[in-house]
Amino acid sequence: MSAGSPANRSPATAEHRATGTRPSGRADLATEVRVGVMRLSRRLRAEQQAVTGSVSEGQFCVLADLKNVGPQTPKELADREQVQPPSMTRTVGPLVELGLVARETHPDDRRQVVLSLTEAGDRMVTEARQRRTAWLARRLAGLTSQERETLRAAAHILRRIVED
């Protein structure tokens, strides 16, 4: 089903379309923002998936974290991703097998390992980011300058909302 199909619309949105009225109030704004952000996220993930193939969203987050932060122990990665170390081990294993992540002995503690991004992993993250950005840039180019400025302001507000 497509994102615009009736089964994927919230009842409030369908009701407002049918009656020609606009949602109002905090709950309705929250619903509109949630639905818009989720649909955008889903579409960007589809662009990412075209590059990453069978790599899951959780695995891609690990790759992106290794690119952003650099080499880490599985425990450090688990803490950053807010999962238990055994879960991180299950997430990282296939990435090592695919040649996207390298395991090396920790330089200070030979009982531990350090995980780092391989060239192939780095290339995958870069290509996925570029593809998502290109898709979004094409969509934004079709907006008016006023709409783009509104989105710029909304992006700042959304970042403020998610900061703890």
Domains contained in the chain, CATH given: 1-52 (no CATH), 56-164 (1.10.10.10)
Residue range 75-93: average pLDDT?
93
Name 68's Cβ contacts closer than 8 Å, sequence gap at least 6. none
Confidence at residue 105, expressed as pLDDT on a 0 to 100 scale:
86
Distance CA 130, CA 47 (A): 10
pLDDT tens digits, residue range 18-59?
544 455 566 799 999 999 999 999 999 999 999 999 899 999
Tens-digit pLDDT profile for residues 89-101: 999 999 999 999 9
Q: Which amino acid is at 69?
A: V
Residue 48's CB: how many other CB atoms inside 10 A?
A: 21
Contact in structure between 62 and 83 (CB atoms under 8 Å): no
Query: What are the E-state strand segments in 17-140?
Result: 101-105, 113-117
